Amino acid sequence: MDSIIQAIGDWLKEVLVAGIMSNLNNTFDSVNYQVGQIATEVGMTPSSFSPAVFNMIRNLSENVIMPIAGILLTFIACYELIQLIMSHNNLANFETWIFWKWIFKTFVAVTLISNTMNITMAVFDVAQYVVTQAGGIISGSTAIDASTLATMQSSLEAMEVGSLLGIYLQSFVVQFLVLILSALIFVIVYGRMIEIYLMVSLAPLPFATFGSKEQSMIGQNYLRSLFALGFQGFLIMVCVGIYAVMIQSIAFSTDIIGSLWGVVGYTILLAFTLFKTGSVAKSILHAH
C-alpha cells in the first residue's frame, strides 16, 4: 500500500514539475520574444516598417493633403505681401526691395512644401541611426539559459507535492499576466508607428505655415513633434536595456516563486515606462 501511494506521489510530482517547467518556458519565451521585437521594430523607419501602409500614406499626403496645403500657402503668401506693403506707412514710404524679400520667403516656403516627404523621412533616418547605434551599446539579453532552467528543475524535483502544487498555480497566473503585458507592449510599439503614419499623412499642412511669420510656430512645433516620435525609439531602447539588466539580477534558481513575481513586476515596470517614453520625449523637445 505504501509503495502504491509513493508511486502515485512520484507520478504527481513528475506531472507538476513538467507543468511548472512548461509554464516557465512559455513565460520566458513570451517575454524574450516581445523584448526582441521591441529592439527590432523601433529601429525601423516608416517606409521599412510597412511599405504598403507607407505608400498609402504617401499617396494620401501628396494627392489629398498637398492641394489643400498649396491653397493655404497661397493665402499665407498673399497675406504676407499685403503686410509687407502696409508696414511702410500705408504705402507712403514704399520700397521695392520688399518684393525681393517676399519672393525669397515664398521660394523657401514652396521648396519646403515640395520636399515635405523627404524632410519628414530625413527626421526618421536620423532617429534610426541613433537607435541603431544605441542597440550596439545597450547589450543585454533577457533570455534564460538552459543551465539555469535545469537548476530550477532540480530544485523543483526536491520539493513536496503541496509546494509544487502552489508553485504550479502561481506559475499559471504569472504566465497569463505576462501574456497580457506582452500584448500591451505590442500595442505600445505598434501604436507609436501608427502615430508616426498619422503625423506624416498631414505633413504638408504644417509645412505650409513656414512662410508666415505669425503662423510659423505651427510648423516648428510639428517638426519638434516628429523628432520627439523619432527619439522616442531611443528612449524605448534605454527602457529595454534597463529591463534586461534587472531581469538578469533575479536569482531564478534559489527563489522560484519570488523570481516569477519579480519577472511580472519588472515587466509591468517596462510597460509603464514604455507608456511614458512619448511624453518624456515631447517634454524634452518642448513639443505639444
**Model confidence over 67-122: pLDDT tens digits?**
898 888 888 888 877 777 776 655 556 666 677 777 888 888 888 888 888 889 88
Please tell me the distance from the alpha carbon of residue 259 to that of residue 152, in angstroms, as a whole number.
11
pLDDT of the residue at 15: 76
Report the percentage of the chain scoring pLDDT > 70. Answer: 80
CB-count exposure of residue 212 (10 Å: 0-12, 13-18, 19+): buried
DSSP assignment of 4-68 equals HHHHHHHHHHHHHHHHHHHHHHHHHHHHHHHHHHHHHHTT--HHHH-HHHHHHHHHHIIIIIHHH
- Tell me how far CA of residue 194 lies from CA of 135, 191, 238, 248, 253, in angstroms: 22, 5, 21, 32, 41
pLDDT number for residue 99: 73
Encode pLDDT of 114-146 as tens digits. Answer: 888 888 988 888 888 888 777 666 655 555 556
User: What is the C-alpha separation between 262 and 266, in angstroms, rounded?
Assistant: 6
Give the model confidence (pLDDT) of 233-283 as tens digits.
888 888 877 877 777 676 565 667 777 777 778 878 888 888 888 889 888
Q: What angle do CA 91, 93, 95 make, to 5 degrees?
A: 95
Residue that wins the pLDDT comparison between 147 and 71: 71
pTM of the model: 0.79
User: Would you kindly state where each structural domain of the chain is located, as residue ranges?
Assistant: 14-65+116-284
123 compared with 154, residue with greater pLDDT: 123
Distance CA 230, CA 232 (A): 5
